[in-house]
Amino acid sequence: MTTEINVGVKSQIKAALAEVNKRDIKNVFFVACGGSSALMYPSKYVMDREAKGVDSYLYSSNEFIYRNPVKLGKNSLVILCSHSGTTPETVESAKFARSKGALAISLTNEPESPLAKESDVYLKYEWGKEADAFATNYSVMYQLVFGVLNLLEGNEKYELIEKNLEKLQATYHKAAEQTAAAATQFAEKHKDEKIIYTMASGANYGVAYSFAICILMEMQWIHSHAIHAGEYFHGPFEILDKETPFIILLGLDETRHLEERALSFSKKYGEKLTVLDAKEYDLSDIDDEVKGYIAPLVLNYVLRQYADKLAEIRNHPLSLRRYMWKVEY
């Protein structure tokens, strides 16, 4: 079944790339909201590191529409994402992109959704504990992005990334097992905290952002903020004291030095530090050349355990909302 679904994902990507191939694509816009936007940050990092010709931009959906970038047009590929496919601003962004002549490719869990319908192509990704990592959102996004880079610029990492994404589920499992005890410890230590900061840089910043705004603020009503590890020393670090909790992510990309520097300083003057370091996980199945790109996906997977444990011990289910889906906004 897994194999069948994975074959399906590959053929969806192939179909999407066939549409890209019909156009003269010169720039890529990543457009989504909240967690769906955060999952595009690693792809923006990939574009900055890999794309020799194609330009790329990342916007929250309504910012995209109202900012109305002058470069959006028939040479644009707009990549959108909404889990339910119903996020109004993202559906509107797909319409807006197509009205400008751009190609709109969306990722969603719901093939019958408005977003799927308003896009030129949709890619259905899998979700939940049964899904193989290869068929889930981060992986489908990478397959699309590296596929586009391969198609437009002959980028040679496409096959390599595909091969590594096929081994991602096993890597997830190992990392989750390694961190299960740490996740429980984190939850016990932080159950009464009013604020928890997160911090990262490079390909991992989106994971820190997502944990801050989706898990802590949205699902746990705990104050938070994702601090960029490079910006830390230019303002935010003055907030550090022995009482203020930080979750510090260390990835494996070129910016790791920024995260290490932030951690090293924080250890001197702070005490409530939770460190997730991709170097400590068993990534032996992953090729060195793409470890930096894969690390944020693993960190994100591992962090979900931290969220689950925190919700459990606080008796505050991750599904609980005050406003979202409940009131008008």
**Contacting residues toward a copy of itself, per CB under 8 A:** 27, 33-35, 37, 45, 48-52, 55, 57, 60-63, 66-71, 87, 89, 194-195, 201-202, 212-214, 217-219, 221-225, 228, 230-231, 233-241, 244, 254-258, 261, 265, 269, 321-324, 329
Min. distance of Cβ 152 from a copy of itself in angstroms? 14
C-beta of 14 vs 223, nearer to a copy of itself: 223
- In the complex, the smallest distance separating the C-beta of residue 204 from a copy of itself, rounded to whole angstroms, is 11
Cα angle: 311, vertex 315, 321; to 5 degrees: 70
Closest separation in Å from C-beta 236 to a copy of itself? 5
* Residue in the structure block whose two tokens are 């996906």: 297
Identity of the residue, 36 or 171, whose beta carbon is nearer to a copy of itself in the bound complex: 36
Q: How far is the CB of 51 from a copy of itself (least distance, A)?
A: 7
What is the distance between the alpha carbons of residues 300 and 207, in angstroms, rounded to a whole number?
6
* 162-167 CB contacts, 8 Å cutoff, 24+ apart: 162/10, 163/287, 164/285, 164/286, 164/287, 164/290, 164/294, 165/133, 165/134, 165/139, 166/6, 166/134, 167/285, 167/286
Q: Which is nearer to a copy of itself, 79 or 227 (CB)?
A: 227
Complex with a copy of itself: residue 37 or 179, whichever CB lies closer: 37
**Closer CB to a copy of itself, 239 or 275, in the complex:** 239
CB of 186 to a copy of itself, least distance (A): 20
Among positive and negative, which fits the CA dihedral 154, 160, 163, 167?
negative
Q: Going by C-beta distance under 8 Å and a sequence separation of 6 or more, which residues neighbour residue 182? A: 274
